Structure 1
Amino acid sequence: MQNKGLITVFAVLFGLVSIYQLSFTFVASKVESNAKDFARSKYSENEPHLREAAEARYLDSVGVDPVFLGIDYNTAKEKELNKGLDLKGGINVILEVSVKDILKGLANHTKDAAFNQALEQATELQKTSQDTYLESFFKAFEALPGENNLASPDIFFNKNLEDAINPTMTNAQVKPIIERKIDESITSAFEVLRKRIDKFGVTQPNIQRLGKSARILVELPGAKDVSRVRKLLQSTAQLEFWDVYKFDEMAGFLQAADSRAGEIETAKKDNVAVLDTVSTKADTTEVEEDDVSKLLGGQDVKDTIVEDNKANPILSRMVALGNQGGPVIATFRLKDTATINGYLRMPQIRSLLPTDMRYAKFVWGLPVAAPQLKGEETTGLYALKSNRDDVPPLGGSVVVDARQEYDQMSRVVVSMQMNGQGAKIWEQMTGDAYQNQSQIAIVLDDIVYSAPGVTSGPIAGGRSQISGDFTVNQGQDLANVLRAGKLPASAEIVQAEVVGPTLGHEAINSGMMSFGIALIVVLLWMIGYYGRAGVFADIALLVNLLFIFGILAGLGAVLTLPGIAGIVLTIGMSVDANVLIFERIKEELAKGKAQKDAIKDGFSNALSSILDANITTGLTGLILLVFGTGPIQGFATTLLIGIATALFTAIFVTRLFIEAYTHKGRPLACSTPITKNLFTNVNIEFLKKRKVAYILSSVLILISVISLFTKGLNQGVDFVGGRTYTVRFAKDVNSAKIQDELIATFGSAEAKTYGGDNQLKITTKYKVEETGTEVDEEIEHMLYNTLKTDLPADMTYEKFVGDEEGKSFGRMEYYKVSPTIADNIKRDSFWAVLGALLVMFLYILLRFRRWQFGLGAVVAIFHDVLIVLGVFSLTYSFMPFNMEIDQSFIAAILTVVGYSLNDTVIIFDRIREYFGEHPGWKLNRVIDVALNSTLGRTLNTSFTTLIVLLSMFLFGAESIRGLLFAIIVGIVVGTYSSLFIATPIMYDTVKRKRVEDLIDKKKEEEVVLEA
């Protein structure tokens, strides 16, 4: 081997760099382990929050202390090997910025009928279209009757866009300008979110815009407070300062509104139309304190809860009235706010407002727990002094700084500093409020955080304060979003994944155990089969693993469970390369060559097959990397890195050890006494058995197709949308019984045993079209209430959805996909599989220069994919593990495609080689001998790979069991198809062509040799 010294130096340096990169992970793990021990010594298991705080204090105190080779914890934490959510726990969401909101803003919230009709039609089109929202809007706008112009003064020719758009422009000229403005707005949203995330306090956060779409991926490994993250990400931070009506000014309206609502409900019951003129308008004069109590018939309303009734639908829901002179009109249960909003939006009820109050805007305050309602949350109703355009006197854009502080009573507050313009308006507003003895409501995203009065005259300097009974975290988050700025449009969570830290630790433990078992089995197998040569292969394999983990750490890549599966698969590939080399060395030795020449020729002859096999698998990995997301990209990343390092270690590192060992003439048999003559005298006539194989495969494919058309596949939420929850119980539960209860609650739901009998995977499509924090929390409450009887007696809702470390029961994992995202995932998956097949065919065509080879390979791939799909279709209803068709399954299918092609290419390589070596042989003999000569390698590689995968399947994490099962089935079927489908198909198409074109047998053989 030339340049042996250079390769040795490179391998050693690469190994040292890998060890150095991994040292950061070891340092971080050691310090964190010490922190956990410290926290355990201070607090018991029943004090998880105190333990967490103690850990944080410990890590802060030792953050800059050198631990190993001058590396401190803070540095190590930044450079450690990143673990994905499935290994560490945390939150992963995809947010979609509302292009609809941005378009409304660009059009200055126009009332133009054509514009707003196009928006609504675009929203409908998005339910079935793969276009972007903007493309749907343009299509809907152009489809409207008449000549509608985007550049009209009523739409985009306004003060926002007058520098870019003029009224003489055509729609075609306006479109690219709007596209650019939309892109700028989404980029702005990305920057706002990035600033918020940077201050959130988790290590190694990841935020990235997905291509040029309106979607933004946010990954927060280790984050536990789901509600806090949702609010942080979805809050538009629309800060507004409003003058507010007092209770005295609104009490009369409240009473009149209740009466009118009662009339409406009675009319509904009697099926009578309600006219706006049924009641007179409310008396607009201020009410005296004694009159306030009369609103509920003289009862003490402040501690009274009146049952809901049709005659008084508003007041019967009220918990308490507001105070004389205060800004709160009344207090209601949080769960009743949607109902009250419905009444207050009715034209019949809004018509009761006096003329000078007709633009009043009703909003709610922060929820608080009510002791008289056993802790149930209540909230206050406010009325803002709005106007025709709903524009506040002062907006949040004037805020230049915000920070969490403490007031004189040691309560958490948020202090704000305004710019010069804001300070001037604020001084005017506070002066008016002081003079009128009124309040100013500080409103964030239509929630009143506080409505203080002004007691000491106008406030100069632009400094103000928000109070609202905040926790420290709430105060920090509020200051964070105000400082980062507001989102240019609302952002909805369209895909979300929440993994509790307990599941993450369990995944690490099971993943490492299965990985260790697989590795030990493979190492022992190689020694048992190839003797001392197997030892050298094992050393190369361990070096390969060191390189893989070192590169992952150095690149800052994220290690996930599918990523571990990808590494395990590279073990099989690394073994495959060494198997090819050792089998070729054995063949050269059998020909009587000297050992040195046999080793040289063995490596040389195996190189072509090794490269072909790894290139095909690498192409599969590239397709996965391009089309996949999240964990699938992790799988593809480790697969691609593994291919590169496996090639280097198998071709160069193994050879360094072999040549060093045989340098002084020591023999190396590449076998043991038991395996020496294994597969050497095999003479199976494969082509004669092809008709039986065709019949068997046809039957299997027919059964698969029938099952796919009749029973179908168990499509996961990735492809159809919905919400999935992993729930763990304290005892074994009956999944069928719980499923019936869930169906009664949600209308449609599925509950399947997931792992042990005390753990279920629950899927529902209830309100799948709706997004938002409120909907998510509503469904989680419904889920908790349905499962409550099977959960531990002391498990509250907060404990059920909480994600503290060491949690034993409750909701352990959560996954949501909106239908729009599901359609995109399905589309990308289709193109990924189709693209893989096309790329493989083209590679085979270019590599072997005959379409018959490509046809045989592609037919075999279709055969393997159909049978794997058929197995999943036939068995998903009774298999004891998850067999949903999701992104992981697509990764498995493409892995099967790569593996099957890997096998086929090695056989085709040997056939091509024998064409040149034996020009006098018939075509069928060439093929049968080639198949027999590669049989040892085919079975050996399949066996070792299956051992590795079976270990992961039996002992690994539940979440990737379906992926592994698909690959296991695919490898078995792929090994069979390489021998009995791909090669026979190639033979039959070549044979028919030659028989048609040639009469002379000798000529036929000569033409075949040209292949």
Structure 2
Amino acid sequence: MLQIDLWKRILIWAVVAAGLIFAAPNIFYDRVEGHNDAVTAIEREGSTDELEAQAAQWPGFLPSGLVNLGLDLRGGAHLLAEVQVEDVYASRIEAMWPQIRDALRPLRDQIGTFRLQESAPGELTIQISNEAGQAAALQAIRDLAQPVSSTAALAQGGANDIEVDAANGVITVTLSEAERAATDERTLRQALEIIRRRIDEVGTREPTIQRQGPDRILIQVPGIGSAQELKDIIGTTAQLTFQPVVSRASGPDAEPGVGEEILPSLDEEGLYYTLDRTPVVTGEQLVDAQPSFDQNGQPAVNFRFNSQGARAFGDYTAANIGSPFAIVLDDEVISAPVIQSHIPGGSGIITGNFTIEESTDLAVLLRAGALPAGLTFLEERTIGPELGADSIAAGQIATAVAFAAVLIFMVVSYGLFGIFANIALILNIALLFGLLSLIGATLTLPGIAGIVLTVGMAVDANVLVFERIREELKTARGPARAIELGYEKALSAIVDANITTIITAIILFAMGSGPVRGFAITLGFGIVTSVFTAVFVTRLLIVTWFERRRPKTITV
């Protein structure tokens, strides 16, 4: 019998209604987008009358998910950055000097005096006065080596993080090849995460941030004004350190000692500080930073360290009361206060000649964390919104032409049944946009191509069914039985054809990147909605019509 259970009918129409509801916000794109921006701003910065009015443009009880427009449709900025991993080697090996110094001190009776020498980047060179103690010094430094924590190193049977060589009383410490490879991997992952945090802080939509090759990062952010603006957001290093002050001078002419550096003051022009190069605490140990005001009502930044940083900061301040220490941001001394008392708890305040905007920006950069290495921008492009508008217009024309051609073809070829297929096709596109809105997908120009392809493929299942019904009608069966057999016998062909296509879409998504993934997502979801509308919605429409009209004969 040609019939569909009531619960199935209710479920089918419920799915269709849900798809229409989730797709509806895209019809009022600008209004819903303004509502979403206002809600995000209220959560982040607090409520204002202007934000409340903007948020009221769209009812809060309705879905507000949108299909985000990609870089090629919305306009924005494109950057290809190379991470200078060699910088990390140098800082990593320099950070080992305090440990090495502490390990050699108990051996002075054997090695005599020892001094850190000027070294090439990425290595430490130590001169000992008594060559007879060279073996003891080598062993003491080698005992500081740690296993490399990486999957590749474990697969090779394990490796240590440093290599130590000596000749004629000169000891050289460098990172091992395994540690360099592990450092490269950690540096790229950390840079990716920090760039993502910084971009998320400014509220941009659906950025593309992904690794390319061994040391490059692709960054695409829709809706941003220019590539320079994007570089300003992610290019600021925001490396915060707390370093002991050796001396201060009115010019940069003083010669720093080994393990020291001279940095300018941010507040006082012409003032320079000689600092111990090894920091007490770094910005990596920060867990929070918020804009605030100091005791004089001037803009400042409150900060808080993690447990490790709090302990190191507290121990240093307890042992150096009365001594100055420098707060260094990006190689400039922003403040050099004198330690008045022990500072436990790991929290403090950074003061300086900040404006409110500068203190807010500094807090954002510190919260996002320091980039582990410098970035060199190899490629940068700004895509204007007018180009995106042209792409949208071209995509709309292509979709409309394909849509109209398919609608006309179905009506001409299959008459009333073609009209049913067209209704299902319209619902199919609505369901597709509802799905894309539900997951917050990004629509690109290749994504529009996927929708156009979906429109063409959506009627394939209906064509298979209708042609099968025509064949069954020739066997002199009744119309009800012909319709029933048409759907039953065409189902296997429909499933086979769409499974192969969805496998292709999955492979494209897994192996591709950027625009290819956008095409794969719209194609994959389009197949799902096409099969649903062809097998269930079109059949429900035909069954409902047949139950009401009860025709003796039908023409497909």
Query: What TM-score, normalized to structure 2?
Result: 0.68
Partner residue in 2 for 1:240: 241
| Aligned position for 2:330 | 445
Aligned pairs for 1:12-23 (under 5 A) are 12-23=13-24
Amino acid at match of 1:669: T
Structure 1 residue 58, shift from structure 2 partner: 6.4
TM-superposed deviation, 1:639:
0.1
Gap change, CA 1:492 and 1:669, over 3 Å in 2 = farther
Structure with the bigger percentage of strand = 2
Picking from 143, 155, 158, the partner of 1:173 is: 158
- 1:890-940 Cα distance to aligned partner (Å, 9 max, x none): xxxxxxxxxxxxxxxxxxxxxxxxxxxxxxxxxxxxxxxxxxxxxxxxxxx
Paired position in structure 2 for 1:918: none
Asked whether the equivalents of residues 363 and 381 of structure 1 are also in contact (C-alpha less than 8 Å), the reply is no
CA drift of 1:504 comes to 3.6
Task: Provide the C-alpha distance between the structure 1 equivalents of 2:295 and 2:479, rounded to a whole number of angstroms.
Answer: 88
Write the letter of the residue equivalent to 2:503.
L
Structure 2 residue corresponding to 1:465, chosen from 346, 350, 372? 350
Instruction: Check whether the contact 1:360–1:384 (CA below 8 A) recurs between aligned residues.
Output: no
Deviations 1:553-601 (A, max 9, x none): 2222222222122111100001233233333433444565544444344
Pick from 664, 669, 690 the counterpart of residue 555 of structure 2. 669
Distance 1:229 1:14 in 2: 41
Find the aligned partners of 1:244 and 1:226 in 2 and give their Cα distance. 41
Q: Could you tell me which amino acid in structure 1 is paired with residue 536 of structure 2?
A: F
- Please list, as runs of the form range in 1=range in 2, the aligned pairs for 1:468-617 lying within 5 A after superposition: 472=357, 474-490=358-374, 498-590=382-474, 594-617=478-501
Map residues 367-766 of structure 1 onto 2, 5 A cutoff. 384-386=273-275, 390-392=277-279, 395-396=282-283, 399=286, 401-405=288-292, 413-416=300-303, 419=310, 421-422=312-313, 425=316, 431-432=322-323, 442-446=327-331, 448=332, 450=334, 458=340, 461=343, 463-467=348-352, 472=357, 474-490=358-374, 498-590=382-474, 594-663=478-547, 664-665=550-551, 667-670=553-556
* Counterpart residue identity of residue 538, structure 2: T
Query: Does structure 2 retain, via aligned residues, the 8 Å contact 1:364–1:382?
Result: yes
CA shift, 1:532, in A, is 1.4
Does the 8 Å CA contact 2:469/2:483 hold for their aligned counterparts? Answer: yes
Letter in 1 for 2:225: K
Q: Secondary structure at the match of 1:668?
A: coil
1:874 equivalent in structure 2 = none
Deviation at residue 191 of structure 1 after TM alignment = 5.0
Q: Which structure has more RCO (C-alpha within 8 Å, separation ≥ 6)?
A: 2
Amino acid at match of 1:174: A
What are the within-5 Å matches in structure 2 for residues 695-844 of structure 1? none
| Alignment partner of 1:9 is 2:10 | yes
In structure 1, runs of 5+ residues without a counterpart are: 37-55, 121-151, 254-352, 369-378, 434-439, 671-1011
Q: Give CA-to-partner distance per residue, 1:68-108, whole Å, 9 cap, x none.
A: 3734xxxx55x333332333344465766655555556656
Change (3 A) 1:469 1:430: farther
**AA in 2 matched with 1:444:** L
**Structure number, greater radius of gyration:** 1
Q: Kindly provide the CA deviation profile for residues 151-187 of structure 1, in whole angstroms up to 9, marking residues without a partner as x.
A: x97999564727989xxx9963228985777666655
Q: Does the aligned pair in 1 maintain the 2:147–2:158 contact within 8 Å?
A: no
Quickly say closer, same or farther: Cα 1:86–1:156, change in 2 above 3 A: farther
CA contact (8 A) 1:414 1:467 kept: no
Q: Secondary structure at the match of 1:443?
A: strand
SS in 1 for 2:520: helix
CA distance in 1, matches of 2:24, 2:520: 25
Q: Does the 8 Å CA contact 1:442/1:466 hold for their aligned counterparts?
A: no
Q: Any conservation in 2 of the 1:19–1:550 contact (CA below 8 Å)?
A: yes
Which letter maps to 1:238? Q
Q: Percent identity?
A: 30
Q: 2:291 corresponds to which letter in structure 1? A: Q
Q: Distance in 2 between matches of 1:170 and 1:556?
A: 39
Query: Partners of 1:59 and 1:83 in 2: how far apart?
Result: 26
Offset of 1:16 from its aligned partner? Answer: 1.7
Aligned to 2:104: none
Distance 1:431 1:640 in 2: 67
User: In the TM superposition, what is the alpha-carbon distance from 1:625 to its structure 2 partner?
Assistant: 0.6
Instruction: Give, as a single letter, the amino acid of the residue that structure 2 aligns with 1:549.
Output: F
Q: Deviations over 1:702-745 (max 9, x none)?
A: xxxxxxxxxxxxxxxxxxxxxxxxxxxxxxxxxxxxxxxxxxxx
- Specify the code of the residue in structure 2 equivalent to 1:385: T
Q: State the secondary structure of the residue aligned to 2:328.
A: strand
1:86 to 69, 72, 95: 72
The structure-2 alpha-carbon separation of the partners of 1:99 and 1:528, relative to structure 1 and needing over 3 Å to count, comes to: same
* CA-based RMSD: 4.9
CA gap of 1:362–1:61, structure 2 versus 1, over 3 A, is same
- Structure 2's unaligned 5+ residue stretches are 38-46, 98-118, 124-136, 162-177
* Separation (CA, whole Å) in 2 of partners of 1:471 and 1:500: 31
Distance 2:430 2:148 in 1: 58
Tell me if the contact between 1:106 and 1:161 (Cα under 8 Å) persists in the aligned partners: no
Structure 1 residues 556 and 163, CA, compared in 2 at 3 Å: closer, same or farther?
A: closer
Could you state the TM-score of these two structures normalised by the residue count of structure 1?
Answer: 0.41
Measure the CA separation in 1 of the matches of 2:500 and 2:474. Answer: 30
Contact 1:106 1:160 (C-alpha < 8 Å) held by counterparts? no
Check whether the contact 2:227–2:380 (CA below 8 A) recurs between aligned residues: no
For 1:20-66, what per-residue CA distance to the aligned partner results, in whole angstroms no more than 9, with x for missing partners?
A: 32345557743557999xxxxxxxxxxxxxxxxxxx96662236659
Which runs of structure 2 are paired with 1:845-864 in the superposition (5 Å)?
none
Aligned to 2:109: none
Question: Which whole-Å CA distance do the structure 1 matches of 2:360 and 2:497 have between them?
Answer: 54
SS at match of 1:172: coil
